[in-house]
Structure 1
Amino acid sequence: MSPSAFDIRVIPARAAHIRTIARRMRKADRDEVFAASGYTPAAALVFSLRKSSHAWTAMIDGVPEVMFGVGDLNVLAGVGAPWLLGTDAVEKHYVHFLRSSVGFRDQLLRRYAVLKNFVDVRNRASIRWLRWLGFTLSDPVEFRGHEFRLFELRSPDV
């Protein structure tokens, strides 16, 4: 391996990954989960993992850096709520992150007719990424004294 090479693996998420990611969660994600729920990074990851029908962890050089998944909002209608919380490794390895996120988006759209959730308006990097993935974003709405935007993506088969 060259000095700039790194090993990225995506594996099923486990509770054991939470502490490492929570300790180093990127500021935008920390701010967003606190504004939306009042949760600490660790509590947000525990909640998200418990509510998910599917969840994964991206390991970079053997270290948990990103946890993401989807929870069922409406099983009969095929509506899921995707989420992702991670460390600054997301931005450090953004090219790989962008490329691999398309595959997971497509995988989720084979399982769900609609993907939707909310993003903090201050989380500009996440908003750019969601748009890049093809999500549409609503006008901001206020929740718990903070502004959020609904993001949504429909399967082309719908």
Structure 2
Amino acid sequence: MTDLMETFIENREMVLPNHGNMLETAHGGNVMKWMDEVGAMSAMRFAGETCVTARVNQMNFERPIPVGETAFINAYVYDAGTSSVKVRIRASREDLRTHEKEKTTESYFVFVAIDDDRRPTPVPELTVDSEKGKRLREEALEAENGDW
């Protein structure tokens, strides 16, 4: 069994000109890629297996991340099935000089754990042992059902 808090992963990507679009903000495809990578790391940390993206829930780009700022991505597993892993993933823009963060994008991905033959393989049971973990799981379950 793996605890929710053990799956929590954060990463940062500096938004450089080659990541930008014509408006000098992060291209949405790059933000999705970064979210997918961090989400997969969280799923793999949970499953102890290679995990591949199976589904991406609605993805809303609420505000841009300007070139020169940092994309701050965090993810955690909030639910699991037999071989599937549900991960909540959020992106924020971060000004490293002021430490100011503002949420820009949020989504819920489903990953599937696969074995060496690339076939679905079982994942462990998710445990939630802390109050913070319980709050994070509850928030994700509520938001996944349309409250976001």
Task: Note whether the superposition's TM-score is higher than 0.5.
Answer: no
Higher helix share: 1
Higher relative contact order (CA 8 A, sep 6+): 2
Scaled by the length of structure 1, the TM-score of the pair is 0.28
